[in-house]
Structure 1
Amino acid sequence: MSDITAEGVRFNDTANIDRIYKKITWRLIPFLLFCYILSYLDRVNIGFAKLQMLSDLQFSEAVYGLGAGVFFLGYFFFEVPSNIIMHKVGARRWIARIMISWGILSAAMMFVNSATSFYVLRFLLGLAEAGFFPGIIYYLTRWYPADRRGRATSLFLTAIALAGVIGGPVSGWILRDTNGLAGLAGWQWMFLIEGIPSVLAGFFLLRFLDDKVEDAKWLTEAERREVVALLQKEEVTKSHSTIGKAFSSGRTWLLSIIYFLFVFSLYGISFWLPTIIKAAGVKDALNIGLLSALPWAAGVIAMVLMARSADRCGERRWHIAIPSVLGAIGFLIAVKFNANVPIAMLGMSIATMGIMSALPIFWSIPTAYLGGAAAAAGIALINSFGNLSGFVGPSLMGWIKEVTGSLDNGVYMLAGCLLMGGLLTLFTSSKLR
């Protein structure tokens, strides 16, 4: 016999539920993934801009590292308020606002002419973009129950890797082939060309996205009732406590520390991969872009396969810890064989696969126990604290490069953070299934 609700919904009518969620996934995930690719280009293209900006503007490695990282200060200060506002006004309007404002500011990066203007625009860009990622993670909890959320999140997070796969070659091509066009440097054209699509996508989102299941006219009434019933069944297991209690929870802060360590390693790759490839002897900007796509492509495959395994097994901790350990080993290989491009790229690919496998499964943990306003605030807190590493990491990497003349010790640091984050995951609840 099936479990039947008062509305007549069968919870174990698996074929019907699969059909509905296939429909939901095809409607939501491709567009959200595209939006996150645009968002993540802000993190990828600054690494490519560095190849020309440092010489054009006479920036030191430390200036670049601080400028790349100050983005996350703005992100940190406005992350939690942004998600609370989104919880009140709805995802459609707020995420559209985020995309339009960050697209304008990203394009405005073409006007950077000093260290001060670099710092100010990067800070404002972080302020504008704050809330986008945790907003989408929270938004997915309004559509997907826990046993389907890992796969949905992993598909969404492939945007990080796809931004590297797409953004690397595109950024390299723009840098090389537009340099000097109409009196502008290649890095200026890159910021302009890669900023405009975010503005256009933001306006389209206003018409395309629905705030909640009940608003989805592209689902039938019966389909909407079934999805709502599934989500309501799960909601009773979550904590709907106040925002303050979400902040005071030891579990929330443990997850914040773990995420800090993971993101530290991730942005080490995002900001410094082009520099690492160039240091290995590759000089052409397009070739650097093409090579930088390889680790991200490997990351896409690994994260989708690992998320499917985690959802199928109903296990989270070891599916995070094991890839983290392997990723740390990949960093060590990249340092040990940094003069050998093929082996160094293999090491960076393993490192990227490890990080990208862990991230989507990690987000299954806080979304499994937080609900309502507590979810909006808790998810934003974890993400904002984690993204502080985006400020600390590039600044520290730049300082290490300046002092030692090499990135080797910085890469060792990335490996240590990834390893520690994976091990700390084993201290989270084993009952999250």
Structure 2
Amino acid sequence: MSVATNSTKELLDTPVLKSAISKASRRLMPMLVILYVVAFLDRTNVGFAEAALEVDKGITAGAYALGAGIFFIGYALFEIPSNLLLTKFGAKVWLARIAITWGIVSACFAFVQGETSFIILRFLLGVTEAGLFPGVIMFLAAWFPNKVRVKMFAIFYLAQPFSQMMGAPLSGWLINIGDQVPGVAGWQVMFFVEGMLAVLAGIAAYFFLINSPQDAKFLTKEEKRALSDVMALEDTVKEETGPRGVLASMRNGRVWYFTVIYFCLQVAVYGVTFYLPQQVAQLTGQKVGIAVGLLAAIPWFFGIFACYFIGKAANTVERRRRWGTALFISTGLCIFGSAWAGANQLPALGIIFITLAVCSFLSTGPICWSYPTAFLTGTAAAAGIGLINSLGNLGGFVAPILRTTVNEVTASDTGTMGVYALGVLPFLAALLMFGTKRFSNKADELLGK
């Protein structure tokens, strides 16, 4: 074990560092969670408008699937450039800029006139949001040591269930309220209001976020030094063993390995998320609105607890591998179960399976991101994390198209076969996650085995 590893272990046990981490968590994490709450809401609220857009604007199921997925094309194209610009301008400015611009685009969905404008705006939403998620991952990797990073990632990931738990009823409520206003459709009110929430979050982020520990006025000099020292030692270890520079990172085999894992995860995430309101409505025989919104919030409510407690428990290399493998298997099985329950008209069982699937894939995300942040730093981190997130998120492009295509080919009126297709890839991810036992990072030695 290296001297740097021993030194870092000693630093991790000091009360000063623990105090610094606690203060940083309380100050930074709420704002980051709020940013991702509104981002995920604006990314997925289109599911509540699918039926209304078809009736009001003639947007077909195929056009909806293309629009839902093309978001990730714009996202992928601009992800790495956005990440590199974040390293130039700093998280404070860049994350605020991202939130404000995507909020404006999201609000513009209220003025959609047909399939063309819908698809263009979905693409622009991906362009403007590009860099948010990997930017936050880089930001957290610069603030929190490897030992506690999965816990911080898990707290950040709580934004997804919070977004869906609160956002599903909010979207349903806004649609119901908007439908009562003469001359305005409910889905238009939903898009505009939720887009403006992102703009407000971006303005707040500029005042709340801080680029580095050295700029943090809420830390004492001793706390700044302790946090900076441990992060510097970890960066030294990464530079010794990991790729250096943009091109080296993009050629690195481990980066591509985790890209495939993340792609499989995102197919499951968005395969469920984009169609959750319709799946719940189909299971219960109700129209999409406040009642369906409340039921659709149930899986995300339980996902909050699963994400936090599993993220807290996965604090060693071996535990991360075991939890990650088991959670991917659980995701695939539960997606299969939800399709079977729907085909057999078992609504309660269907919602239970959906809830378990959501708990599983939400808890897997923080574990996945603990691996690349353990060996990437500097511009290599900006490029590598951007590559993993951008290409991995193409799973969100593939998921709705895969589901729709399989349903059409198999003539599945209930959509069951499309859901089955989405449940296959998590099993591949489980095999790859189990295979991470052959990877060894010096930074991981700090966690223990």
Per-residue CA distance 1:153-177 (angstroms, 9 max, x = gap): 0000110111110111111111122
Match of 1:248 in 2: 251
Per-residue CA distance 1:331-350 (angstroms, 9 max, x = gap): 12111111111100001011
CA distance in 1 between counterparts of 2:73 and 2:297 reads: 28
The yes-or-no answer on 1:367 pairing with 2:370 is: no
Q: Supply the AA of the counterpart residue of 1:71.
A: F
Q: Secondary structure at the match of 2:143?
A: coil
User: Which deviates the most, 91-100 or 423-432?
Assistant: 423-432
CA distance in 2 between counterparts of 1:54 and 1:406 reads: 18
Distance 1:12 1:39, change over 3 A: closer
CA distance in 1 between counterparts of 2:90 and 2:20 reads: 23
| Normalised TM-score (structure 1) | 0.95
TM-superposed CA distance for 1:182, in Å, is: 4.1
CA distance in 2 between counterparts of 1:284 and 1:98 reads: 30
Q: Secondary structure at the match of 1:219?
A: coil
Distance 1:302 1:191, change over 3 A: same
TM-superposed CA distance for 1:16, in Å, is: 3.2
CA distance in 2 between counterparts of 1:397 and 1:42 reads: 22
Distance 1:170 1:369, change over 3 A: same
Match of 1:299 in 2: 303
Q: Aligned-residue CA RMSD in angstroms? A: 1.9
Q: Secondary structure at the match of 1:11?
A: helix
CA distance in 2 between counterparts of 1:25 and 1:283 reads: 41
TM-superposed CA distance for 1:197, in Å, is: 1.4
CA distance in 1 between counterparts of 2:424 and 2:142 reads: 35
| Normalised TM-score (structure 2) | 0.92
Per-residue CA distance 1:317-344 (angstroms, 9 max, x = gap): 2111101111211112111111111100
Match of 2:269 in 1: 266
Per-residue CA distance 1:104-127 (angstroms, 9 max, x = gap): 000001111110000111101100
1:34-433 correspondence to structure 2 within 5 Å? 34-238=34-238, 239=242, 241-280=244-283, 281-311=285-315, 315-338=319-342, 339-403=345-409, 404=411, 405-428=413-436, 429-431=438-440, 432=444, 433=447
User: Which deviates the most, 181-190 or 31-40?
Assistant: 181-190
CA distance in 2 between counterparts of 1:173 and 1:240 reads: 49
User: Which deviates the most, 197-206 or 146-155?
Assistant: 197-206
Aligned length: 429
User: Which deviates the most, 128-137 or 399-408?
Assistant: 399-408
TM-superposed CA distance for 1:402, in Å, is: 4.3
Q: Provide structure 2 residue ranges, at least 5 long, that are not aligned to the other structure.
A: none
Q: Provide structure 1 residue ranges, at least 5 long, that are not aligned to the other structure.
A: none
TM-superposed CA distance for 1:312, in Å, is: 5.4
CA distance in 2 between counterparts of 1:284 and 1:373 reads: 45
Asked if structure 1 preserves the Cα contact closer than 8 Å seen for 2:20 and 2:224, the reply is no
TM-superposed CA distance for 1:180, in Å, is: 4.4
Per-residue CA distance 1:81-101 (angstroms, 9 max, x = gap): 100111111111111111110
Asked if structure 2 preserves the Cα contact closer than 8 Å seen for 1:317 and 1:430, the reply is no
Per-residue CA distance 1:210-236 (angstroms, 9 max, x = gap): 111111111111110010011112112
Asked if structure 1 preserves the Cα contact closer than 8 Å seen for 2:12 and 2:18, the reply is no
Q: Supply the AA of the counterpart residue of 2:368.
A: F
Asked if structure 1 preserves the Cα contact closer than 8 Å seen for 2:37 and 2:160, the reply is yes
Asked if structure 1 preserves the Cα contact closer than 8 Å seen for 2:402 and 2:422, the reply is no
Q: Supply the AA of the counterpart residue of 1:241.
A: R
Distance 1:386 1:160, change over 3 A: same
Q: Secondary structure at the match of 1:335?
A: helix
User: Which deviates the most, 414-423 or 311-320?
Assistant: 311-320
Q: Secondary structure at the match of 1:140?
A: helix
Q: Supply the AA of the counterpart residue of 2:287.
A: K
CA distance in 2 between counterparts of 1:11 and 1:4 reads: 10
TM-superposed CA distance for 1:43, in Å, is: 2.5
Per-residue CA distance 1:35-55 (angstroms, 9 max, x = gap): 100000022211111131122
Per-residue CA distance 1:342-367 (angstroms, 9 max, x = gap): 10000101111110111111100000
User: Which deviates the most, 14-23 or 69-78?
Assistant: 14-23
